[in-house]
């Protein structure tokens, strides 16, 4: 009995995964999540439309799951980048390279985050905002420890960096390989300028005695 239940659970998870991947595959520069229909996604996944409801309440729940997955995927990659940095290498250059790899390999996942960040659904906007805040918080954790700066400074620097990175990511979606390389170089320069400026500002404020954690 236990074996049968286990097999069914695995089959259900595979079908759920197929629905998520089917929805991602239908996104493009011309097509947003809002334009997808339940029937289209089910057909692409190879299941009957009525079977969709065994896995998600509605298309919106599927979309929110996709937002969560996209954010988690990006954060996991950036954690791996920080592990590579710990073994030696440029912090900013390695991070930017990893981010651009994510966009190159998962363009529709990043498109989803970008579009739903300012979309018409409050639930989607909140979900994307939450993922971005997770991203900022993890970067702030790293900056606070590595740069030995107060939390407030780390959060401000992390937020500025994430805003610029996401903006560059939007540009990187539909450009040539050479243009993406140039964009990557520009982004590295911009982030280094923010990092240097943050370091200078912290030293200045610390000298005035205004810094607190």
Q: What's residue 2's pLDDT?
A: 59
- Choose among 102, 33, 30: nearest CA to 65: 33
Q: Tell me which fold the domain 1-56 belongs to.
A: Arc Repressor Mutant, subunit A (1.10.10)
Q: What would the CATH number be for the domain defined by 59-208? A: 1.10.357.10
Total residue length of the chain: 213
Q: pLDDT band at residue 90, thresholds of 50, 70 and 90?
A: confident
pLDDT in tens, 112-148: 999 999 888 999 999 999 999 999 999 999 999 988 8
Angle at 102 between CA 98 and CA 108, to 5 degrees: 165
Least confident of 38-42, 46-50, 149-153, 202-206: 202-206
At 213, is the pLDDT very low, low, confident or very high (cuts 50, 70, 90)?
Answer: very low
Query: CATH 1.10.10.60 occupies which residues in the chain?
Result: 1-56
> Confidence band (pLDDT; 50, 70, 90) for 101?
very high
Q: Are 106 and 69 in contact (CB under 8 A)?
A: no
Using pLDDT thresholds of 50, 70 and 90, give the confidence band for residue 83.
confident
Instruction: Kindly state the DSSP code that residue 30 receives in the 8-state scheme.
Output: S
pLDDT at 151: 93
Q: Where does the chain hold its CATH 1.10.357.10 domain(s)?
A: 59-208
Predicted local distance difference test score (pLDDT) of residue 7: 76
The alpha carbon of residue 76 and the mean position of all alpha carbons in its chain are separated, in whole angstroms, by: 9
């Amino acid at each position: 009995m236990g074996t049968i239940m286990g097999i069914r659970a695995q089959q259900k998870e595979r079908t759920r995964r197929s629905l998520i991947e089917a929805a991602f595959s239908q996104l493009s520069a011309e097509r947003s999540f809002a334009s997808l229909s339940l029937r289209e996604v089910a057909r692409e996944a190879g299941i009957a439309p009525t079977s969709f409801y065994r896995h998600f309440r509605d298309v919106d729940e599927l979309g929110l799951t996709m937002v969560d997955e996209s954010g988690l995927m990006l954060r996991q990659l950036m954690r791996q980048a920080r592990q590579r940095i710990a073994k030696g290498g440029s912090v900013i250059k390695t991070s930017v390279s990893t981010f651009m790899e994510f966009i190159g390999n998962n363009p529709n996942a990043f498109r989803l985050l970008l579009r739903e960040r300012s979309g018409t659904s409050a639930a989607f906007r909140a979900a994307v905002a939450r993922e971005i805040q997770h991203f900022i918080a993890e970067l702030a954790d790293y900056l606070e420890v590595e740069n030995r700066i107060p939390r407030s400074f780390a959060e401000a620097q992390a937020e500025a960096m994430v805003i610029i990175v996401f903006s560059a990511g939007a540009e990187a979606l539909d450009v040539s390989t050479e243009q993406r390389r140039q964009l990557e170089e520009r982004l590295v320069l911009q982030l280094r300028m923010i990092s240097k400026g943050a370091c200078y500002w912290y030293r200045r404020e610390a000298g005035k005695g205004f810094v607190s954690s």
